Structure 1
Amino acid sequence: MNSIKYRHEHKLYINLGDYYVIRTRLKHLMKLDRNSKGDEGYFIRSIYFDDINDKALFEKIAGVNHREKFRIRFYNNDVSYIKLEKKIKNNGLTAKFSTLVSVDECNKILNEDIDWIRYKDDDLLKELYIKMKSELFRPKTIVDYNREAYTYSTGNVRVTFDKSIRTGIFSKKIFDKDIPTVKALDSNIIILEVKYDEFIPNIISDILQIGERRITSVSKYALSRAFG
């Protein structure tokens, strides 16, 4: 983790009208993410961690310049590819580290059976272990949503639309497809995310009109924690 590759990341709320206009223009220019299941993209389920004082939540709300969050995530209900992720935000730039975990390892972590991590040669798992032991890190909430993603090679640009955001509130059963969830954001509101390396090509920024739209502090984790 010594060499950190930071990216620019902007998030904002848009309405359905904006979504359809931007989407129509992007589809002629950018490629649909290869993991997409048709035009509507793919399903993401995550479970987020926080400490006993909800540090990650309150630092997000307060807009702290340097902060981090941990989550476990998988896509399209495919449990053969599960990731433990750590995301860092530093003065508006973001970086992400990840490692693969199995269903069994994931269940053990969620049930606080973590002593086995001491024998793993994995820095990220060991960092989570230390936080669970010393800071009482625990899984807090499940977040579900559908993501429609587009990529553009120049500038390594990625534009995503996150829709149908729901939360599992207090449940930790991330492999249960039938857990009850509640809507965390109005269905008519979509989260637009734009990520890129050193620059964003004008042809993309003109479509998105990032400079004319209000960049907001959007967090699906914070939205979901409003319910518990």
Structure 2
Amino acid sequence: MDQLKFRHEIKHCINTLDSYIVRSRLKHIMKPDDFALKDGKYKVRSLYFDNPYDKALLEKLNGTGKREKFRIRLYNDDSSFIKLEKKSKIRGLTLKEAIQISDEQCKAILKGDLSWMSNSENPLILELYMKMKNEVLQPKTLVDYTREAYRYEPGNVRITIDGHIKTGLFSKDLLNPVLPTMEIYPSGYHILEVKYDEFLPGIISDILQTNEHRSISVSKYAASRLYG
């Protein structure tokens, strides 16, 4: 079992021109992500959880130093590989825990059938079960986007460029590939995410220097909640 480790995570808002510049540089020294299709990109769909009092949303908006959120995620509308994830943040560092769940288990969660979860031996599934029972945690909003991702072994660096970020509005139909969605950011808006362990290699830092980008505290979940 891999040891869980907190990582650095920095997000930038970049325009279309800068996304082309960064992409052309990254391709020379970094490896593409395993989920990438022929064009180097792939679709990510996530269903986020929150309680009736919007605890996860308010903690993000208020910049709470210690917070967490649960989500179910799949790639390229492929229901044969679905992940349950918990993302924690403590003093600026992030930790992601994940477990693969089946199509049937995912559908059960969406229907509110939690009986199978209480018998699980996985701590992440048991934690979600307890919080759905005791804190009324429930699926809240769905987010779609297109991602281009790269990996660099020294420093365990992962860089992603996300665009065409959309919300499913009030729908939580995670497994519906033709679900109507609506873009939540202006055209030409991209989110560049840089994740690494103890250090960011200088060559990567140099690649990320562009004419116009700014560090931001952004949340696809929080932005999507403006619409439902």
User: TM-score scaled by structure 1?
Assistant: 0.95
Cα displacement (A) at 1:26 = 1.2
1:30 deviates by 1.1
Q: Distance in 1 between matches of 2:60 and 2:79?
A: 29
Corresponding residue of 2:66: 66
Contact 1:49-1:137 at 8 Å conserved across structures: yes
Equivalent in the alignment of 2:124: 124
Q: Does 1:86 align with 2:89?
A: no
Structure 1 position 213, deviation (Å): 4.6
Q: CA deviation at 1:148?
A: 0.2
How far does residue 214 in structure 1 lie from its aligned partner after superposition?
A: 2.9
1:152 counterpart = 2:167: no
Aligned residue for 2:88, secondary structure, equals: strand
CA contact (8 A) 1:39 1:148 kept: no
Question: Matches of 2:17 and 2:72 in 1, distance apart?
Answer: 32
Aligned residues: 226
Which residue of 2 is the match for residue 217 of structure 1?
217
Matches within 5 A, 1:67-216: 67-209=67-209, 213-216=213-216
Aligned partner of 1:37: which letter?
L
Q: CA RMSD in A?
A: 1.5
- Extract structure 1 runs of 4+ deviating beyond 6 A: none
Superimposed CA distance per residue, residues 60-108 of structure 1 (whole angstroms, 9 cap, x where no aligned partner): 0111111100000011111111000000011111111111111111111
Distance change (3 Å), C-alpha of 1:184 and 1:40: farther
SS of the aligned residue for 2:221 comes to helix
After the TM superposition, which residues 50-61 of structure 1 pair with which residues of structure 2 at under 5 Å, given as runs?
50-61=50-61
Query: Which is worse superposed, 33-42 or 143-152?
Result: 33-42
Output the CA distance in 2 between the equivalents of 1:189 and 1:71. Answer: 24
Letter in 2 for 1:17: L
Q: 1:84 and 1:146 mapped to 2: Cα distance? A: 19
Structure 1 distance, partners of 2:184, 2:81, is 26
Answer yes or no: is 1:9 the counterpart of 2:24: no
- Counterpart of 2:194, as a letter, is V
Deviations 1:41-71 (CA, angstroms, capped at 9, x unpaired) = 1111110000111110011011111110000
**TM-score of the pair, normalised by structure 2:** 0.95
Q: Is the 8 A contact 2:14 2:213 kept in 1?
A: no
1:167–1:184 Cα contact (<8 Å) kept: yes
Which secondary structure state, in structure 2, belongs to the residue aligned with residue 68 of structure 1? strand
Q: Hey, what's the Cα distance between the residues in 2 that align with 1:223 and 1:74? A: 20
Contact 2:43 2:76 in 1 (8 A): yes
In the alignment, does 2:24 pair up with 1:24? yes
Q: Find the aligned partners of 1:80 and 1:93 in 2 and give their Cα distance.
A: 31
Task: Give, in whole Å, the separation in 1 of the partners of 2:19 and 2:171.
Answer: 31
Which ranges in structure 2 are unaligned for 5 or more consecutive residues?
Answer: none
CA distance in 2 between counterparts of 1:176 and 1:39 reads 23
